[in-house]
């Protein structure tokens, strides 16, 4: 179970207990969240510790755990990297994009209709 948790962390980065359960169930038998928590606790208590609990970042509801196989982590660099990660566009930006796409579709429909009329005129 410990190897499965570490493997998933290496592949996916910091994760919650529920994420580790879902993603690690193919690698090891985890009957429930308590089994994942127990496995994490064992990894935390090892000397040296193989995982660490990250502090809650703004907007997060659950603690995330990260492996320490590369040595101690720089929490500031990790926070900066997650802040720089692409996020979903704001609702206003999305509405603007939809409006622009709708205008383009209307223009293309008008062009197709004009071509049809020209083809009908040539064929007649």
pLDDT digit string, tens, across residues 61-80: 888 899 888 887 777 776 66
Task: Supply the pLDDT for residue 108.
Answer: 92
Task: Supply the pLDDT for residue 58.
Answer: 73
For the chain, give percent helix, strand, coil, nearest 5.
60, 5, 30
- Is the pLDDT at 114 greater than 60? The verdict is yes
Task: Supply the pLDDT for residue 85.
Answer: 56
Which of residues 27 and 81 earns the better pLDDT score? 27
Tell me the per-residue pLDDT of 8-67, one tens digit each, with 9 for 90 and over: 999 988 899 999 999 988 899 888 999 999 999 999 999 898 998 888 877 778 888 998
Beta bridge partners, 54, equal: 64
Task: Supply the pLDDT for residue 83.
Answer: 57
Query: How many angstroms separate the CA atoms of 54 and 10, rounded?
Result: 15
Letter string b/e over residues 5-22, b meaning 16 or more CB atoms within 10 A of that residue's CB: bbebbeeeebbbbebbbe
- Is the pLDDT at 89 greater than 60? The verdict is no
Question: Band of the pLDDT at 94, cuts 50, 70, 90?
Answer: confident
Query: How many angstroms separate the CA atoms of 80 and 83, rounded?
Result: 5
pTM tops 0.75 = no
């Amino acid at each position: 179970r410990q190897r499965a948790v570490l493997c998933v962390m290496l592949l996916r980065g910091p994760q919650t207990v529920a994420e580790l359960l879902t993603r690690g169930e193919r690698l090891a038998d985890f009957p429930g969240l308590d089994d994942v928590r127990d496995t994490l606790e064992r990894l935390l208590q090892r000397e040296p510790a193989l995982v660490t609990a990250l502090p809650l970042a703004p907007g997060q509801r659950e603690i995330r755990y990260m492996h320490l196989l590369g040595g101690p982590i720089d929490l500031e660099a990790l926070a900066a990297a997650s802040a720089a990660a692409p996020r979903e566009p704001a609702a206003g930006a999305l509405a603007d994009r939809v409006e622009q796409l709708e205008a383009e579709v209307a223009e293309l429909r008008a062009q197709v209709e004009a071509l049809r009329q020209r083809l009908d005129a040539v064929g007649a």
